[in-house]
Amino acid sequence: MASIIFKGLFATAQNTPYTGQPLTGPGGAEYSHHSVSFFDAAARADGYWLFEPADPKPDSAEVVVFMHGYGAYNPMSYGKWIKHLVAKGNIVIYPRYQKNLLLPRPDAFPANAAKGIRDALDLLNTGDHVRPRTERVAYFGHSYGGVITANLGVNWSTYGIPKPTAMLLCEPGSGPLKGARLDNYEGLSDDLNLLIIVGEDDYVVGHEFGQLVFETATNTPQRNLVLQRHDTDGHRWILATHSEPYAYDLDFDSGVRNYTTKRVFQTSRLNEVDFNCYWKLGDALIGYTRESKYADIAFGNTPQQRFLGRWANGKNMRPLDVFLPDNVPMVKPVAAGSIGK
Q: Give the rounded percent of residues in the chain with a pLDDT score beyond 70.
A: 95
What CA–CA distance (Å, rounded) separates 37 from 203? Answer: 36
Instruction: Kindly state the greatest CA–CA separation across the chain.
Output: 55
Q: For residue 333, what pLDDT is reported?
A: 43
Q: What tens digit of pLDDT does each residue of 200-210 get? A: 999 999 999 99
Is the bond preceding residue 58 a cis peptide, omega within 30 degrees? no
Provide the residue type at 309 as one letter: G
Q: For residue 2, what pLDDT is reported?
A: 58
Q: For residue 269, what pLDDT is reported?
A: 94
* pLDDT (average), residues 82-102: 96
Q: For residue 336, what pLDDT is reported?
A: 46
Beta-carbon contacts of 188 under 8 Å, excluding residues fewer than 6 positions away, are 150, 153, 154, 167, 194, 213, 217, 219, 220
Is 33 strand, coil or helix?
coil
Q: For residue 340, what pLDDT is reported?
A: 36
Q: For residue 294, what pLDDT is reported?
A: 98
DSSP collapsed to 3 states, 251-279: HHCCCCCCHHHHHHHHHCCCCHHHHHHHH
Q: What tens digit of pLDDT does each residue of 25-61 get? A: 999 999 999 999 999 999 999 999 999 999 999 999 9
Q: For residue 16, what pLDDT is reported?
A: 76
Beta-carbon contacts of 292 under 8 Å, excluding residues fewer than 6 positions away, are none
* Contact between residue 79 and residue 247 where contact means Cβ atoms under 8 Å apart: yes
User: H/E element holding 155?
Assistant: helix 144-159
* pLDDT (average), residues 5-22: 89
Which residues in 143-285 belong to E strands, given as ranges? 164-170, 193-199, 223-228, 231-232, 237-238
Q: Which of 2-6, 32-36, 235-239, 290-294 has the lowest mean pLDDT?
A: 2-6
Beta-carbon contacts of 219 under 8 Å, excluding residues fewer than 6 positions away, are 186, 187, 188, 189, 190
What CA–CA distance (Å, rounded) separates 167 from 183? Answer: 19
| pLDDT at residue 72 is higher than 60 | yes
Grade residue 335 by pLDDT with cuts at 50, 70 and 90.
very low
Supply angle C-alpha 81, 175, 324, rounded to 5: 65
What CA–CA distance (Å, rounded) separates 285 from 169? Answer: 12
What architecture (CATH level 2) is domain 5-323?
3-Layer(aba) Sandwich (3.40)
pTM for the complete prediction? 0.95
Q: How many CB atoms lie within 10 A of CB 312?
A: 8
Is 38 strand, coil or helix?
strand
Q: For residue 13, what pLDDT is reported?
A: 83
| pLDDT at residue 319 is higher than 60 | yes
Q: What tens digit of pLDDT does each residue of 140-177 get? A: 999 999 999 999 999 999 999 999 999 999 999 998 98
Q: What are phi and psi of 110, to 5 degrees?
A: -60, -40
Pairing of strands 131-142, 164-170: parallel
| pLDDT at residue 131 is higher than 60 | yes
Beta-carbon contacts of 108 under 8 Å, excluding residues fewer than 6 positions away, are 179
Is 283 strand, coil or helix?
helix
* Contact between residue 249 and residue 326 where contact means Cβ atoms under 8 Å apart: no
Mean pLDDT of the chain: 94
Task: Name the residue among 219, 202, 44, 30 with its Cα closest to residue 116.
Answer: 44
Q: How far is CA 5 from each of CA 41, 69, 94, rounded to the nearest angstrom?
A: 6, 23, 15
* Contact between residue 289 and residue 133 where contact means Cβ atoms under 8 Å apart: no
* Half-sphere exposure of residue 196: CA atoms within 13 angstroms, side-chain side: 30
